Structure 1
Amino acid sequence: MINFIRFWNHKPTVLVFIHLIQDLDLVLPLLVGLQYRNDLVPQVCVLDQILNKSPRIKSALQKLGIKYSKVSRLGVLTGVEPNLLNIQGLITASESTAGPHKAAYALTKRANKSGILTYTLQHGFENVGLNYFDDLYTAKNTRFASQKVLTWGDTALLPEELAHETQSKCIAVGCPKYVNSTTTPKVEFSNPGNYLIVIFENLHWERYSEEYRILFLQDLEKTARHFPDTTFLVKPHHAGVWLTDKYQGQLPQGNNIIIANPRNPQWEVFTAPALIAIADGAITTPSTVALDAAKYKCPVSVISYGLNLEKYEPLPLINELADWINFVETLQTTEGRLAIQQKADVYIKRNLIAGNAVTRILDLIANDIQKKNISNPIPKKCL
């Protein structure tokens, strides 16, 4: 009887699994929120290989006093790691049958079999298997093991081709990410221009044609020459690093062009939100950066070159060199910045559930666990 009382009074433990570099920006706000709650206890495990690739993850967790354990990808895939004893909830930031997400997928399936409640977060504005499909990741072959998929926007926005199985799991909660550079060192430039434009590269460069890539680089260089008093900081994606790792051609040249290679310790600590916070404007290939910039009220334009980007409307789209130049000119006036921000406000309202997503997510998990424990108070031993 004494053991039962101890169990009943024990706060339920929620395991947060980080297995991709970009997971951190999504789960960190949840971990901060969990520190102020008395109904849930966080436990964190991180894939060892990303700790080696991104010292920023270890640093961010340590600064917040968050303890974590390391696990190997093989250990997760084979079901050896992590230990699920006494875990009542599992949160992943990128889980699906897609290859890069398989560690989280395997862990979630194992958790489901152990009677653990499982949740995965929408991890990008265009999320494979949720609201983005292509020849490799189709609506038919991409699935989620999590019992609930937590979306940023209204579920009515989800595409018609989305599998009914996935659709039934989706719950609109909003986006837990926040644009916050308080824990990031200040960016310093030796010869800063009058304006700073940050150019963002998407993770998924395989989506773009060779013509798109060539135009992107050529027009960036021409725009930089057109505005010699403006600094153009190019930010490759931390995980994709197409421009600095995979691209074999000549990099954009110019005294006012800086390429922030994430493999360089000088730049590894700077995430997209950290750079958005100091930028006068942002130009991005289709990605979550557009949403981050709009939320931070940083003027943003999306590079289209003929792609169907209806999801990004009414943000300014770039289809030719003249659009690059027009955007940079526009953001240099108060009236221009206001016009761009008005479009961004429409874009945000259309695509994000308003309110505190972190509280909404943690309340949902706490209530689910409470309901489960009331209906089934005897703990199931998880191995």
Structure 2
Amino acid sequence: MAKLQDITPKHWLRRFYTLFCIIIARFIRFSRVLKNHATPSSRALKLVLLISRPQDIDLFIDIYHHARTRPDIEISFWATKRALTHFPATRKLLAEAGIQPSFHLGHGNLIAATLKLLKIDAFLNTVESTVARHKVPYLITTIANASGVHTYTMQHGFENVGLTYNDPDLGHEVRFAAQHVLTWGPVNQLPGIVAPETRRKCLAVGSPKVHLTRIDKPRKATTGTADHPPIIAVFEGLHVDRFDDRYLRLFFTDLQHLADTFTNLHFILKPHPGIVKRSRIHTEFLYSLRGIKVL
């Protein structure tokens, strides 16, 4: 938790702004209840998916396509302004998928977002939490709760802070505002570090990346085995502000040694898609690897 002296006037202003939005949402919501403005059961359920990082598109695309086949669901995308400006790949991937976000969300237009929330039924995002870099999704989810919207946060990767691990640099008390947290694996297999409050919110749904699953069966060689070598996939999340040059050298040197030693294996390296700033040595190592396919 932030210390009182660490909270700047900007943070106080944002907290007040968010509280004001929550009050507006609750006032309008309860005014409708008093006037008995029930939602017509015949209309389509309105679902909003929030894009906060380029990799969210992989998580949401199958949900989007499936929902479009359902006449009882009206689906739309929002995107954070940070995702559109900080991650250049976001606009490109959205365009390739034929998706045009209907709203660009930021700290400055939370009131406009609040009024839009009052017209939707469910809100789904991936990186909402009390972590500072997840603050805008966290705030809008909090406001959505006050608006009477059903809120969901989906696990965004095998590793998800506050869900599969804790990081002292991000705080030991990571929490989620959503009413439900959708996990890729069984809830009873979550580590012991998960807060009881978070664990109670969790629902196991599996990974939604159906489009990345091979449908066709691999061809068989005459020996009866697959005609490609075993694949070793490595995820690289070496953030420049957490790992020094010595660690980088060790990581890439060891990885290259593995690839050189086990030539009967096929190595794939997947850099963290959220890393947009790398040191010179990081970049040099990444693109000088031999016998390792970098995605």
Q: TM-score, normalised by structure 1?
A: 0.53
1:153 and 2:185 matched: yes
Q: How many residues align?
A: 244
Alignment of 1:81 with 2:116, yes or no, is no
Match status 1:180 vs 2:215? no
Q: Does 1:16 align with 2:88?
A: no
Amino acid at match of 1:43: S
**Cα offset for 1:228?**
9.0
Structure 2 gap ranges (5+): 1-36, 215-227
Aligned to 1:353: none
C-alpha separation in 2, matches of 1:5 and 1:109: 22
Which has the larger displacement, 81-90 or 51-60?
51-60
Within the alignment, does 1:47 sit opposite 2:93 as a pair?
Answer: no
The question of whether the paired residues in 2 share the 8 Å contact of 1:121 and 1:149 is answered with yes
Name the counterpart of 1:218. 253
Task: Tell me, yes or no, if structure 1 residue 36 matches structure 2 residue 62.
Answer: no
Within a 5 Å distance, the mapping from 1:349-368 to structure 2 comes to none
Distance 1:87 1:157, change over 3 A: same
Q: Which amino acid aligns with 2:185?
A: G
Aligned mates of 1:149, 1:49 — CA distance in 2: 23
Q: Secondary structure at the match of 2:133?
A: helix
Which residue in the other structure is 2:58 paired with? Answer: 25
Residue 93 of structure 1: which of 126, 145, 153 is its match? 126
Q: Does residue 239 in structure 1 map to residue 274 in structure 2?
A: yes
* CA distance in 2 between partners of 1:119 and 1:258 (Å): 37
- State the Cα deviation string for residues 120-166 of structure 1 (Å, max 9, x = none): 10112121111211223455x21110001111111111222322211
**Equivalent position amino acid for 2:64 in 1:** L
Letter of the aligned partner of 2:146 in structure 1? Answer: K
Spell out, residue by residue over 1:341-362, the C-alpha distance to the aligned partner (whole angstroms, 9 max, x if none).
xxxxxxxxxxxxxxxxxxxxxx
Cα distance in 1, alignment partners of residues 93 and 209 from structure 2: 15
Partner of 2:146: 113
Q: Could you tell me which amino acid in structure 1 is paired with residue 67 of structure 2? A: L
Contact 2:151 2:180 in 1 (8 A): yes
Residue by residue over 1:235-283, the C-alpha shift from the partner in whole angstroms, topping out at 9 and shown as x without a partner, is 43221246xx2354682385846896xxxxxxxxxxxxxx4xxxxxxxx
Q: What aligned pairs does 1:1-383 form with structure 2 within 5 A after superposition? A: 7-52=40-85, 54=87, 56-75=89-108, 78-81=110-113, 83-139=116-172, 141-178=173-210, 180=212, 200-202=235-237, 204=239, 212-222=247-257, 235-241=270-276, 245-248=278-281, 251-252=284-285, 256=290, 275=295
- Unmatched segments (≥5 aa) in structure 1: 183-193, 261-274, 276-383
Bigger RCO of structures 1 and 2 (CA < 8 A, at least 6 apart): 1
* Percent of pairs with identical residues: 34
For residue 220 of structure 1, report the CA deviation from its aligned partner. Answer: 3.6
Q: In angstroms, what is the RMSD of aligned CA positions?
A: 3.7
